[in-house]
Chains A and B, each alone.
Chain A
Amino acid sequence: MKSNLRPFVLSLILCVLCFKVASAQPALSRDLIDRAAQYDNKSVVLEGEVIGDIMKRGDYVWVNVVNGANAIGIWMKSELASQIQHSGSYKSKGDGVEVAGIFHRACPDHGGDLDIHAHSLRRTAAGRNIQEKINPAKIAQAFILLGFLVLIWILTLLKRK
């Protein structure tokens, strides 16, 4: 009987391990939104760039992470967010993070929002401040158009005389 059960137990362990590996693969935000029912209340991993403000709410914070075209709100303990040093904006590239947590398609704690309650966060890439490089072509265009405007003004003055 024992020998009969062995293959079954082994396959079960294999299945669980496969599922663990599969669920640890970072999901795409698009996939999470499009197949929200399938991921609902399951453990997911989301990798992406931190954008916008980190909003402190008591002992927790809201961090928004963009992956592809969509950003998703991540609810986490303040300590987890302390690793984040840069958040994406016009003048900054946000830190790359890998967040693991429970996905909710309609979170009961947050009025039905689609969100992730994170239990771990790993910084995968350091963000940085972006130094704006002035585009010389734009300066040239601005001066050419200014010259054109001055020309219109001179022609108007001449016509008046």
Chain B
Amino acid sequence: MILRPRLEDIKIIGYYLGRMIVGLTLTMLVPIVLGLAFAEINPVLDFIIAFEASLAFGLILIRLCATQKDLNWMQGMIVVSLSWIAAMILGAIPMYLSGHWRSFLDACFDAMSGFATTGLTLVQDLDHISYTHNLWRHLIMFIGGQGIVIVALSFFVKGVSGAFKMYVGEARDERIMPNVISTSRFIWLVSMVYLVLGTLALGTTGLLGGMPAMNAFFHGACVFMAAFDTGGFAPQSQNMLYYHSPAFEVITVVIMILGALNFKLHYHVWMGNRREIVKNIETLVLFVAITVAFIVTAAGLAQTGIYPGAGMLFRKGFYQLVSGHTGTGFQTIYPAQFILEWNPLSIAGVICAMALGGAVCSTTGAIKMLRVGIIFKAMKEDLKRVMLSERAVVVEKFHHIKEVFIEDQQVRSALLVTLCYLILYGLGALAGMYYGYPFMDSLFESTSAAANVGLSCGITDVSMPTGLKITYILQMWAGRLEFMSVFTLLGFFIAAIKGKR
């Protein structure tokens, strides 16, 4: 029997949602400070308006729903899914006010794309956008990559006892430290250390490549945030093509791969356990998957003959592939080139890479390497059962920080999430075809949205149908949260309508 949610449930959800919103609102102070430094008055006003509106909304929720009660699992999941919707709407306010987005829906699309670290964009005239708004586009990727809940838990929301429930609701089922707050802070420590190193590396490369110092380091910081958080926005409309620099491409590949690795793996490597990199199932599967997908992509590109030299083919093919596999979405080709110049085989290689994604507890989306590894191990175990004597005891294990024996529960969970992703990719492709786009284009863009990648073959454009924009927003949201908290929210609404008192 489904029970209708009580008023108390709604109050608890409202209270914690309000706290999340207040925490998130405070991040808008960063672009405000930068805007003042650059004397960009109108952009600063956009952010002051957004800051005040968001703060007022958060404070009203806290006051109206004030409670001392702790979150249960259902409430925690709902707070997370609603926090992401609230972040999208409130984060879109300064973007829309800038005039660079044609409608509020377009601004919401980019805000969700940023927070979910997707990278698909509907911004107009990006080459004339202010530093303030450009920083915000990249900062929301940095926030979303770590996780909105992680940001709130790490810096702004003290003493939330239901923290773990929200942490899990944000698709992070692994704790690095004994408690969630320490885990969140460690994730930030890793990100901040890499931010400094990455900005220095990219900024210096930009400087040596002829960019003025200020722009070189601003771009360096923005590109780092988009690369490490596997986002894919870039400060200029040409994306990575703007820099015309092989060194820039090499550095971003390294950063994208670092972003696609499990934070738990970063922790163990930082603690001196470097062998974990070569032993861990996720890194092994990632290596194999990238190799296989690249062979497929390269074979396709070789057939087309558009890149006559091996070096050229490697540079273009490998970059788009790694960008897709890690869920980043940086491009060194124009979106239309995917469809007009790459053949179906090379596109299929990139789609498979996008669909698989990086490691769990990383900044990537999609099915993820641990699940792929577990499914293959389970298949191997079942095959052994058939092949070996009936009396043989068959066990399969894998190495993920420690040796883990495969259990049915793990396999079930991995298969369920994989199935959900495949359905999500398929539904988005059907929506694309409904609006008249060809199958391959629709599947490419849908996989890119649902797996939070951001590579585009040209469908994502300001002129695309409203229904498709909404479809991609929902795909980015569900894909980033890995379904559970989204399903819980749907269940909550169904219970509110059909449930018994």
- Name A's B-contacting residues (CB within 8 A): 33-34, 36-37, 51-57, 61-62, 64, 66, 69-73, 75, 88-91, 105-106, 108, 110-115, 132, 134-135, 138-139, 141-142, 145-146, 148-149, 152, 155-156, 159
Q: Out of B41, B210, B332, name the residue touching A113 (CB < 8 Å).
A: B332
A114 to B131, CA, bound (A): 27
User: By the criterion CB–CB under 8 Å, are B244 and A52 in contact?
Assistant: no
Q: Out of B237, B241, B246, B308, name the residue touching A108 (CB < 8 Å).
A: B308
User: By the criterion CB–CB under 8 Å, are A149 and B52 in contact?
Assistant: yes
A108 to B313, CA, bound (A): 11
Q: Out of A90, A135, A142, name the residue touching B131 (CB < 8 Å).
A: A90
A71 to B129, CA, bound (A): 15
Whether B178 is near chain A, meaning CB under 8 Å from some CB there, is no
Whether B491 is near chain A, meaning CB under 8 Å from some CB there, is no
User: By the criterion CB–CB under 8 Å, are A148 and B210 in contact?
Assistant: no
User: By the criterion CB–CB under 8 Å, are A106 and B97 in contact?
Assistant: no
User: By the criterion CB–CB under 8 Å, are A152 and B60 in contact?
Assistant: yes
Among residues of B, the one whose C-beta sits closest to the C-beta of A137 is B45
Q: Which residues of B contact A56 (CB under 8 A)?
A: 210
Among residues of A, the one whose C-beta sits closest to the C-beta of B216 is A53
| 20 examples of A-B residue contacts, CB within 8 angstroms | A33-B336, A51-B237, A52-B242, A55-B244, A62-B244, A71-B237, A71-B238, A73-B244, A106-B308, A106-B312, A106-B316, A108-B309, A111-B246, A111-B311, A111-B315, A132-B40, A134-B41, A134-B42, A149-B52, A156-B59
Among residues of A, the one whose C-beta sits closest to the C-beta of B335 is A33
Give B224-265 as 1s and 0s: 1 = Cβ < 8 Å from A's Cβ atoms.
000000000000111001111010000000000000000000
User: By the criterion CB–CB under 8 Å, are A90 and B237 in contact?
Assistant: no
Give B155-191 as 1s and 0s: 1 = Cβ < 8 Å from A's Cβ atoms.
0000000000000000000000000000000000000
Q: Which residues of B contact A62 (CB under 8 A)?
A: 210, 244
User: By the criterion CB–CB under 8 Å, are B236 and A71 in contact?
Assistant: yes
Whether B334 is near chain A, meaning CB under 8 Å from some CB there, is yes
Q: Which residues of A contact B276 (CB under 8 A)?
A: none
User: By the criterion CB–CB under 8 Å, are B52 and A145 in contact?
Assistant: yes
